[in-house]
Structure 1
Amino acid sequence: MTTTFLFARSKLELTAKEVQKSRRTKDYYEVVPIEEAVGRVSACDHFSPISTPEFDTSAMDGYAICSESTRLASAEHPVFFCVKGTIAAGDDSLTLPSRHTRDGPEPCFEIMTGGRFPQGELGEVFDACVKVEDTIRIAGKEPGLGTCIAISKPIPRYANRRFAGEDIQKGDLVMKKGVTIRTSHIMPLASVGIETTQVRKKPRVCIWSTGNELTSQKSHIRDVNGVYLTAASKEAGADATFGGSIPDEVDALVQTIKGRLGSSAVDIMITSGGVSVGKFDHVRQALETLGATIVFHGVAVRPGHPVLFALLPSAWGEVAFFGLPGNPGAAAAACFKFLTVPYISHLLGQEPEKPVLARLENLQLGSSSRKSIMDAPNRGLNCDRFRPGVLQMTGGEGLTVHEAAGVLGPAKMAPFVQANCWIHIKANEVIETGQMVYCYPMNGSLVS
């Protein structure tokens, strides 16, 4: 019995939650160094254990001075400072020795970017950093005075000074639970001393292609789906392996699936082909032989309506099984994108991808015999439709989208040459040129 797309999605979400509840919490998490965490999913909120910077530091290479002492500085009447020491980034804060007296030039410290501002035992205030290029370095005017600098303009209070905690406060959230970790997350994590992170374990996925035409030495048919689904599973965050091709025989399917179930733990199994009602479509029969629970078989979507989802018993717990259509291209790709990927996302503790809205352009591209999603035969259908499209930013109009060029069909490859998104037309929806439609970017990119 064919089910609606929304019902199928809700069943997948519910199943993923039930599967997770049935397993031990530790089976879903692992700790990795942050430099190895890119592309993984954060398993917990990360809060800063410190404030940054931890101390008041210099934003420039220069000299730590008392800004008040430069209030009357000018080119005609420069103010002189005596350099009492050097502070590099990472050095402990220096303190002006108590033997210092107020006689002679004001004290200062040479300070590097990131250096901690010094203190004075007699109450000297080093509140600002004057840049090197705003000073003139000179020898001391008196014996034993050492190096001095001259400043010929007033320096504002707190100039070039970074205050403790002005960047990140202790307890601030620096990375949320459930986000896919990017390189941009690594910098704030490292800056507050977080060296490892807890991430979700990658769901283990095994993929097979089915069909005698793929196992025959005489056939010249290339296996597109096996390669695609393996790559796409990895892109979705899974640990995916390709198990090869299985001939269109019930026993071969049963033995292959049974063998994998008995070898090691697996979370998801995927086959392409063999799920329709043809003479050589045996996937459902094989699953039933193995005691699987068929959750749904047939979804009101185009392309890909024969898609199947089941749960297989195993020593490791229930294993999700997706039987995808065998037509390479849109059929397998659309079902994987809108059914399998959301299930993977739920296992990873993430919400399914949300669409963007774009204005639909009525561009007549490709063959004149091509059926558009706006043509009469496709208008108001009682099924959800997915078409590869081209999403782009148009000046003054925001995001626009049009169908990818090429003759469309469940096994056509040409539209994917230029496509960068999926256009989703909901069941019973009638669309017109200029209407806003839902789009799902491919490869995480809004525009090509």
Structure 2
Amino acid sequence: MSASPPAPWAHARSLVYAAGLAAVLPAVELPLAETDGHTLAEPLTPRTDLPAFPTSSVDGWAVRGTGPWRVVGRVLAGGAPAPLTEDGTTVEIATGAMVPAGASAVLRVEESTRTPEGFVDGVPRSSPQWRQPGEEATVGEELLPAGTPVDPAVIGLAASCGLDTLRVRRQPRTALLVFGDELLTAGPPGAGQVRDALGPAVPGWLRRYGCRVDSDDVVGPVADTLPAHVAAMRAALEVADLVCTTGGTMHGPVDHLHPALAELGAEYVVNTVAVRPGFPMLLARLVGADGRVRFVAGLPGNPQSAVIALVSLVVPLLAGLAGRSLPTLPHAVLTGPVAGRGDHTHLALVRLDRVAGTAHPVRHVGSAMLRGLAAADGFAVIDPGGTGSVGDRVPVVPLPLLPGERAW
């Protein structure tokens, strides 16, 4: 594999998205309750008209002809009423119940009276007080296209359509390999060693972005030798669609990621991105003997840089693998200045006020720091050669809040 100049940040997002879309994951059929966080693999269409029958919008009386009306029955939700065949008759009806054939109007209960003889009287409103079949949708109509993220609202809509399962894209199985002999997995840092912050944190980010990460898919610290790197990556690629690694993305004496990728026969999709923090990041592609495409995302060892690599390369890749659109970035107005980073895009940590549409720069934003990240909701995008001034409206890369939650 040959090195290439750093890719502009926006171009890198497009490249990895296209690579993911070219390797879109297969569709699976899942029960509705198991589809949250997945992506529709085919359009969502109803099995019947919605509603499937005329449905009362109110509690009251389904009447035929002019009043006063003689009460001949009652219809509740879930029942199939007999038709009204005589003028001057009515049935009591509940909200959501099927309107009987022959009814000319539905009279609201609060606008009705009872005569001494037990008849119902009143003046029905001129507007229909029931929902007509197909008012919301007709059978076979495309309600949502393939590529739509599935959330509880989509699941509820699918259930109302009469569906028991959905065809969705299989979630990518993702492994994490943590590189670095200097890392501790327990206790306080000291004596030249630092605590591994990415091993415990990155799986949570990946799950929030729709990945499957099992406990045995997190491995490390992997010894700082080329054979150890190759063996760990080879094992992870046996089961994973995407392998994320932390550290080793430069070309130092113990940075073995690039040589390991070369030994495994990988090709770069993106090799370094002109973005700060997070400059030494990469995405590589491998085709297995089974013909299946797998990916390796090289995340920098500095924690904030690693998260920037996730939002810059992994998130667009996952969108492609799921058959979704490339995420469109929302915009917010800066409430404080943000420095530029020369020829590189600057992703600056901000706290978002979604009501006001503003982005507030936070402190403690060094690439090795996590304090600022813990207080932030996303990154303001400052273009190469520019700076961010108070009042500027800039793109924002939001961070997800909960698994599967839309971040903006």
Instruction: Classify the TM-score, shorter chain.
Output: 0.7 to 0.9
> Contact 2:14–2:316 (CA<8 Å) still a contact in 1?
no
CA deviation vs aligned residue, 1:213-264 (integer Å, no higher than 9, x gap): 22688983322112222111111111124432112111111111223334x3
> Contact 1:310–1:321 (CA<8 Å) still a contact in 2?
yes
What SS does the aligned partner of 1:186 have?
Answer: helix
CA deviation vs aligned residue, 1:376-396 (integer Å, no higher than 9, x gap): xx45x11111111122257xx
Amino acid of the residue matched to residue 105 of structure 2? Answer: A
- The residue number in structure 2 matching 1:19 is 23
Q: Does 1:403 align with 2:361?
A: yes
What SS does the aligned partner of 1:175 have?
Answer: coil
> Contact 2:56–2:98 (CA<8 Å) still a contact in 1?
yes
What SS does the aligned partner of 2:183 have?
Answer: helix
Q: Does 1:85 align with 2:73?
A: yes
Amino acid of the residue matched to residue 130 of structure 1? Answer: L
What SS does the aligned partner of 2:37 have?
Answer: coil
Amino acid of the residue matched to residue 126 of structure 1? Answer: A
- For 1:345 and 1:33, locate their aligned partners in 2 and report how far apart those are by CA, in whole Å: 22
- The residue number in structure 1 matching 2:259 is 285
Amino acid of the residue matched to residue 39 of structure 2? Answer: V
Q: Does 1:235 align with 2:208?
A: yes
> Contact 2:70–2:120 (CA<8 Å) still a contact in 1?
no
Q: How many residues align?
A: 391
Deviation at 1:190, TM superposition (A): 1.7
- For 1:315 and 1:190, locate their aligned partners in 2 and report how far apart those are by CA, in whole Å: 41
What SS does the aligned partner of 1:346 have?
Answer: helix
State which of 296, 300, 304 in structure 2 corresponds to 1:325: 300
- The residue number in structure 2 matching 1:415 is 372
TM value normalised by structure 1:
0.80
- The residue number in structure 2 matching 1:45 is 43
- The residue number in structure 2 matching 1:368 is none
> Contact 2:21–2:323 (CA<8 Å) still a contact in 1?
no
- For 2:354 and 2:184, locate their aligned partners in 1 and report how far apart those are by CA, in whole Å: 44
- For 1:286 and 1:311, locate their aligned partners in 2 and report how far apart those are by CA, in whole Å: 13
State which of 320, 343, 346 in structure 2 corresponds to 1:382: 343
- For 1:311 and 1:167, locate their aligned partners in 2 and report how far apart those are by CA, in whole Å: 45
Higher deviation after alignment, 269-278 or 165-174: 165-174
State which of 3, 6, 16 in structure 2 corresponds to 1:3: 6
What SS does the aligned partner of 2:309 have?
Answer: helix
- The residue number in structure 1 matching 2:103 is 126
What SS does the aligned partner of 2:199 have?
Answer: helix
Q: How does 1:165-204 map to 2 (within 5 A)?
A: 165-204=134-173
> Contact 2:28–2:170 (CA<8 Å) still a contact in 1?
yes
Larger Rg: 1
- The residue number in structure 2 matching 1:56 is 54
Amino acid of the residue matched to residue 117 of structure 1? Answer: V
Deviation at 1:116, TM superposition (A): 2.4
Q: How does 1:307-322 map to 2 (within 5 A)?
A: 307-316=281-290, 317-322=292-297
Amino acid of the residue matched to residue 54 of structure 1? Answer: A
- For 1:84 and 1:38, locate their aligned partners in 2 and report how far apart those are by CA, in whole Å: 46
- The residue number in structure 2 matching 1:367 is none
Q: Percent identity?
A: 26
> Contact 1:56–1:164 (CA<8 Å) still a contact in 2?
yes
- The residue number in structure 1 matching 2:329 is 355
Gaps of 5+ in 2: 401-405
What SS does the aligned partner of 1:388 have?
Answer: strand
CA deviation vs aligned residue, 1:342-400 (integer Å, no higher than 9, x gap): 1111010112221122222226xxxxxxxxx33xxx45x11111111122257xxx522
Change (3 A) 1:410 1:308: same
Instruction: Tell me the C-alpha RMSD between the 2 structures.
Output: 2.5
- For 1:255 and 1:117, locate their aligned partners in 2 and report how far apart those are by CA, in whole Å: 68
- For 2:223 and 2:188, locate their aligned partners in 1 and report how far apart those are by CA, in whole Å: 13
- For 1:6 and 1:244, locate their aligned partners in 2 and report how far apart those are by CA, in whole Å: 31
Amino acid of the residue matched to residue 85 of structure 1? Answer: G
Q: How does 1:96-175 map to 2 (within 5 A)?
A: 96=84, 106-119=88-101, 125-137=102-114, 148-151=118-121, 153-157=122-126, 159-175=128-144
Q: Does 1:258 align with 2:256?
A: no
Amino acid of the residue matched to residue 107 of structure 1? Answer: T
- For 2:205 and 2:39, locate their aligned partners in 1 and report how far apart those are by CA, in whole Å: 16
